């Protein structure tokens, strides 16, 4: 039979590492998947909200979809519920993360089926219902259904994750009305199999990408304004580049992985405007630590100032650095937190953070609190985020969360080591 209902122990169920919601390395363990879900850097998991929606008991009518892969029951759909079940039965560690999970039996009924059926179920529940972003849908269709890569997906891959790095662009209307085939052609792009070609050189391409992102972020083009007319809203400088290169030969796009002048997520700019403390404003309005800290003299202040000096140099000389530089910032924040903790006699940063986090949060504006909440930066997640920054280079590149971590850590430092 291609489908059957079978009771399976929670301890035997294996979380799907290739979950389109937030894929991870195929060799990752259940604990790795749970860590990723708790950090929830892209706001895809929302475990606490799901636990609250589940109420007081586990609903047997919502069957996980399971496929046996190499004799192991892998959960293709229902991973969030199984994570909660594993948390409830203490099969995984969650550190200081606090969540109220309803009662869940040690064995639950599952829809065990062939992989073909499972993939159809996943697509119907998530892609067709609109719960996936366009890139998630396109990746799923290519990787699991066998469809050709969409030009939207090839655009993302060819520009070093330009769309996936900027959620404003990972929207249905952007895929259909802004970065559609006609507009991409008019902008100077073409496609050969799974490659995107461009009439523009690297510097021109960066200007073009910056301008597109800015116009979408600022809603100069939206479902209500200048609908689909991306060429009409671009800056004169960008239009001049496009016109100059209309008859230029299209070439494979240069590697953009070492170009750090690509734009950052616009909500960072917004968040820095919300911060009420005195700001060290940079040309792009991005503020580390939420603004300057006034710490008492000593090793902690020296280390803090060194981090700021290094970051300032990076801001002024981005072209010299790769995108991995933010990993160094994240590791530096971990070192700063550990040093401050040890300076006060705490061997664990968890104790240090919990001692000052309540007062630190009370000093932040409501808008800043909302900003941190959207990034899942809190006293409960901060220890794990700092740990991730020291050991997971890909995750630590997430720009917004690095800023968020520094803001909360800065508020804590202002209390524990601030000038009296």
Chain centroid to Cα 403, Å, comes to 13
Distance from C-alpha of 226 to C-alpha of 232, rounded to nearest angstrom: 8
- 168-182 residues labelled b (16+ CB within 10 A) or e (exposed): bbbbeebbebbbbee
Helix 382-391 with 325-343: angle, nearest 10 deg: 130
- Rounded to 5 degrees, what angle do the CA atoms 276, 277, 280 make? 115
User: Which residue reads 């937190």 in tokens?
Assistant: 337
With a CB cutoff of 8 Å and minimum separation 6, the contacts of 200 are 188, 208, 241, 245, 248
pLDDT of residue 346: 86
Neighbour tally for 287: CB within 10 Å = 24
Would you write out the chain's pLDDT as a tens digit for each of its 420 residues? Answer: 589 999 999 999 999 988 877 787 778 889 989 988 888 766 788 899 999 999 888 888 889 999 999 999 999 999 999 999 999 999 998 877 889 999 999 999 999 999 999 999 898 888 777 778 899 899 999 988 889 999 999 999 898 888 988 888 999 999 999 999 999 999 999 999 889 999 999 889 989 998 999 999 888 988 888 888 999 999 999 999 999 999 999 998 876 654 444 544 433 333 333 333 333 333 333 588 988 898 999 999 999 999 999 988 887 777 677 767 888 898 999 999 999 999 999 888 999 999 999 899 888 888 788 888 877 788 888 988 888 765 555 554 467 788 889 999 999 999 999 987
Q: Write phi, then psi, for 390 (nearest 5 degrees).
A: -90, -20
Q: Where are the domains of the chain?
A: 3-127, 134-252, 266-416
DSSP structural state of residue 124:
I
Distance from C-alpha of 273 to C-alpha of 337, rounded to nearest angstrom: 25
Sheet holding 195-198, edge to edge: 189-192, 195-198, 251-252
Given a contact cutoff of 8 angstroms between Cβ atoms, the answer to whether 80 and 15 are in contact is no
- 318-346 residues labelled b (16+ CB within 10 A) or e (exposed): beeeebebbbbbbbbbbebbbbbbeeeeb
Q: Is the pTM above the cut of 0.75? A: no
pLDDT of residue 370: 81
pLDDT of residue 270: 34
Q: Where are the beta strands (DSSP E) in 246-402?
A: 251-252
With a CB cutoff of 8 Å and minimum separation 6, the contacts of 327 are 389, 393, 396, 397
- 209-238 residues labelled b (16+ CB within 10 A) or e (exposed): bebbbbbbbeebbbeeeeeeebeebbeeeb
**Measured CA distances, 367 to 39, 97, 274 (Å):** 21, 23, 6
pLDDT of residue 2: 83
pLDDT of residue 201: 92
Chain centroid to Cα 56, Å, comes to 31
Neighbour tally for 300: CB within 10 Å = 22
């Amino acid at each position: 039979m291609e489908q059957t209902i079978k009771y399976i122990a929670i301890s035997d169920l294996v979380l799907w590492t290739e979950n389109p919601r937030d894929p991870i390395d195929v060799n990752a363990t259940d604990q790795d998947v749970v860590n990723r879900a708790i950090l929830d850097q892209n706001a895809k998991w929302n475990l606490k909200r799901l636990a609250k929606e589940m109420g007081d008991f586990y609903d047997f009518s919502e069957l996980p979809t399971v496929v046996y892969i190499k004799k192991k029951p892998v959960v293709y759909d229902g991973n969030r519920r199984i994570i909660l079940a594993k948390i409830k039965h203490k099969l995984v560690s969650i550190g200081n993360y606090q969540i109220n999970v309803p009662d869940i039996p040690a064995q639950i009924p599952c829809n065990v089926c062939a992989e073909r059926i499972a993939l159809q179920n996943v697509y119907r529940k998530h892609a067709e219902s609109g719960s996936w972003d366009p890139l998630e849908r396109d990746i799923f269709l290519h990787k699991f259904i066998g469809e050709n890569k969409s030009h939207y997906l090839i655009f993302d891959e060819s520009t070093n994750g330009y769309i996936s790095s900027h959620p404003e662009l990972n929207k249905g209307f952007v895929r259909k009305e802004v970065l559609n085939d006609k507009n991409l052609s008019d902008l100077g792009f073409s496609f050969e199999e799974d490659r995107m070609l461009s009439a523009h050189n690297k510097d021109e391409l960066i200007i073009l990408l910056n301008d597109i992102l800015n116009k979408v972020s600022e809603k100069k083009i939206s479902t209500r304004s200048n609908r689909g007319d991306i060429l009409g809203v671009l800056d004169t400088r960008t239009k001049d580049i496009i016109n100059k290169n209309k008859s230029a030969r299209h070439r494979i796009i240069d590697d953009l992985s070492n170009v750090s002048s690509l734009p950052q997520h616009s909500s960072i700019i917004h968040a820095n405007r919300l911060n009420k403390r005195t700001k060290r404003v940079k040309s792009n309005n991005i503020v580390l630590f939420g603004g300057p800290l006034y710490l008492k003299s000593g090793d902690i202040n020296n280390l803090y100032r060194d981090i700021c000096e290094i970051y300032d140099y990076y801001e002024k000389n981005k072209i010299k650095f790769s995108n991995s530089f933010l990993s160094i910032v994240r590791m530096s924040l971990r070192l700063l937190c550990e040093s401050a903790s040890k300076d006060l006699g705490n061997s664990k940063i968890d104790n240090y953070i919990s001692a000052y986090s309540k007062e630190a949060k009370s000093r932040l504006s409501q808008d800043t609190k909302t900003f941190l909440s959207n990034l899942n930066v809190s006293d409960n997640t901060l220890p794990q985020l700092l740990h991730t920054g020291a050991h997971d280079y890909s995750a630590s590149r997430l720009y917004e969360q690095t800023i968020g971590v520094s803001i909360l850590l800065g508020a804590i430092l202002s209390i524990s080591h601030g000038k009296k």
